[in-house]
Chains A and B, each alone.
Chain A
C-alpha cells in the first residue's frame, strides 16, 4: 500500500493507540434490549461506548454494560453465538460489568423463576428472582437512594423487574426500597440494578460505572 502523497513520514510513524487509561472503552452487550439508551447514557457520562455482539468485540472493551431486555433471549443468543464462555472468562478475570434489569439477572450466580435451561454469566454472589414484582401492570416508578451516588435519590424505573432475594458475604447492598427489598448491589468490579437508569436521562449510575471502569483500567496497567 502506497502512502498518500504529501503526508509527512514522521506523522504516520508517530501514530499510536490512545492510552486506554484516560479513555476506557465501555461495551454494551447488543444481543437484544435497550442498547441505544445505555450507549447514550455512557457517552453523556464521558465514556467511549461501543456495541458488543461478538467475542472479538468483547475482547476490545475495558468494561461491559448488560442492558435491560428479555433475559431468556439474551441468554439463548449468548450461547448460540459463542459469547457466554468469553463473557464468563472476562468477568472472572476482573472486567467491570454493570447490569440493569435483565442485566442484573445475567450477572447473578443463581436465579429463581427463570427457564430451566437459562444460563447466566454470573459473578455476583446473589440469588435474583426474575419478574419478582409481577407483570407489566405492576411495573412502577419510585425514588431510590443509592449508596455511592450523590445528589439525592435517582428515579427508579422498574419494568417487570427482578429483585435480589439473597446475597453472599462479599456483596454490598447499594439500594433498597421502603420495604427493604434489595434493588441495587455491588461486588467488587460488578454492579447491578433492578431498575433502568438508562431510561431517565440521569447519568449518575453510569458515571459511577464509568469510574469503576477507569479505576480498573488504571490499576491493570
Chain B
C-alpha cells in the first residue's frame, strides 16, 4: 500500500529506485495509447485478446452485458480467476473494484494487477466517496461523463481516465456523448482568461490547480480513453477520431459471433482510425455483432454512467 521509496540505505547511490510515483503510474497509461483494452472472463479469452493485439486485458467475472442480464450485486472478481488470467498472458492485466471499495482495491494490488479500474459497472460500495487512489502503488483508471468528474477522479489520484459510455449496451451513443462533453469542456476552458478560471473551477467542482493545468495543456494531465458501447471497428475509430487516445471494449468482442476476428479488426481500426480503407477491410465478414440495447429505453436505475460522484 505504501508509496514510499524502496528502502535501500546505500549512501553511495544518491537516488534509490522509487516505485508507485505519479510519473510511473501515468506513464504506464501513456504506453497503452493507440491500443485496445479488452474485457475477458477466462484465461482462454485473455489469450484470444493477446493474440489479436490487445495492449491489455480487463479481468472480470462477467462482462457488463451479463451483469445487466443477471442483475444482483456485481463485485470484484475471484482472485483465482484474476490470477489465472495474469498467468495466461504476458500483456498488462487490469481488474475492477467497486467505487469506494478500497479493500477490494487493496486485494487487487496484492494480487499484482497492473491497473485497477474503480468502475461504475460494479455495484458502488460508497455513494459519497471514491477510493483514495494516491495511497496505492498500483495505478487507477476511473470513468467520467464530464470534465468536472474527470478532474475530481484525478484529484483523488486516478492516473488514467476513460469516458464512461454505457457499458454492456453495444451502443456507442453514450460513449460519444461523454467524450464530446469532456473534449468540449476542455475546449471552452482554453478560451477563458486567468480571472475566469476560478469561477470555472467552482462550477466544475474541481481543484483550481487542475483546472488551470487543463486550460494550459488543452488536454487532461492523464491519458484519456473511451469506454462503454464500442462494438465494431468503426465504433473504435469513431472514438479515436473524436479524441480518445485508445479504447476499452467490454462486451462487444466476446458477445459477438467471432470474437478472435472481431478483436483483431478492432485493433487494426484503432491504429488506422483515420484511414477509412483500412477500417472497411477490417470490418468485412466479422459475423454477428453483439445485439445491443437502445439506451433511451434504459431505465435511469439501470444506467451505470450515473454511478460515481
Chain B associates with chain A: yes
Residues of A bordering B, CB below 8 Å = 30-37, 53, 68-70, 72-73, 76-77, 80-81, 101-102, 113-115, 130-131, 135-143, 153, 157-160, 177-178, 196, 199-200
Stretch at the interface among B179-187, B190-198, B207-215, B265-273: B265-273
Rounded to whole Å, the gap between the CB of A34 and the closest CB of chain B is 4
Complex CA distance for A69 and B27, rounded to whole angstroms: 10
CB of A68 within 8 A of CB of B35, answer: no
User: Does B260 belong to the interface (CB within 8 Å)?
Assistant: no
Instruction: List 22 A-B pairs, Cβ < 8 Å.
Output: A33-B34, A36-B33, A68-B30, A69-B35, A70-B31, A70-B56, A76-B53, A77-B268, A135-B92, A137-B109, A137-B112, A137-B137, A143-B14, A153-B15, A157-B27, A159-B28, A160-B28, A160-B31, A178-B10, A178-B12, A199-B23, A200-B23
B19 within 8 A of A: yes
Q: Is B166 an interface residue (CB 8 A)?
A: no
| Minimum CB–CB distance for B150 against chain A, Å | 19
Least Cβ–Cβ distance between B272 and chain A, in angstroms: 7
Interface residue SS majority, chain B: loop
A69: B residues at CB distance < 8 A: 31-35, 55
B5-34 contacts to A (CB < 8 Å): 6, 10, 12-21, 23-24, 27-28, 30-34
Interface size on B (CB < 8 Å)? 43
* Other-chain residue from B17, B33, B271 in contact with A77 (beta carbon distance below 8 A): B271
State in angstroms the CA–CA spacing of A143 and B10 once bound together. Answer: 14
Is B229 among interface residues, defined by CB-CB distance under 8 A? no
Chain A contact surface mostly? loop
Q: Which residues of B contact A33 (CB under 8 A)?
A: 31, 33-35
The yes or no answer to B90 lying at the interface (CB within 8 A) is yes
Assess the A139–B35 pair: CB atoms within 8 A.
no
Q: Complex: how many Å from CA A138 to CA B19?
A: 6
Whether a CB of chain A sits under 8 angstroms from the CB of B115 is: yes
Minimum CB–CB distance from B169 to chain A (whole Å) comes to: 27
Q: A112 → chain B, closest Cβ, in Å?
A: 11
Q: How far is the CB of B220 from chain A (nearest CB, A)?
A: 13
Q: Which chain B residues numbered 129 to 150 have a C-beta less than 8 Å away from chain A?
A: 137-139
Please give me the residue from chain A that is nearest to B34 by CB atom.
A32
Q: How far is the CB of A199 from chain B (nearest CB, A)?
A: 5
A53 touches B18 (CB 8 A): no
Q: For the complex, what is the distance from the CA of A112 to the CA of B92, rounded to whole Å?
A: 17
Question: B200: CB under 8 A from chain A?
Answer: no
Q: With A32-B35, A72-B90 as given contacts, are A140 and B23 in contact (CB-CB < 8 Å)?
A: no
Distance in angstroms from B181 CB to nearest chain A CB is 23
CB-contact partner of A114 in B19, B20, B90, under 8 A: B90
- Separation of A36 and B245 alpha carbons in the complex (Å): 10
In the complex, residue of chain B having the shortest beta-carbon distance to the beta carbon of A141: B18
Chain B residues whose C-beta falls within 8 Å of the C-beta of A35 in the assembled complex? 33-34
Instruction: Report B-chain residues with C-beta under 8 Å of the C-beta of A70.
Output: 31-32, 35, 55-56, 91-92
B28 and A178 form a contact (CB under 8 A): no
Which residue of chain A lies nearest to B50 when distances are taken between CB atoms in the complex?
A72
> Which residue of chain A is the closest to B93 with respect to CB atoms?
A135
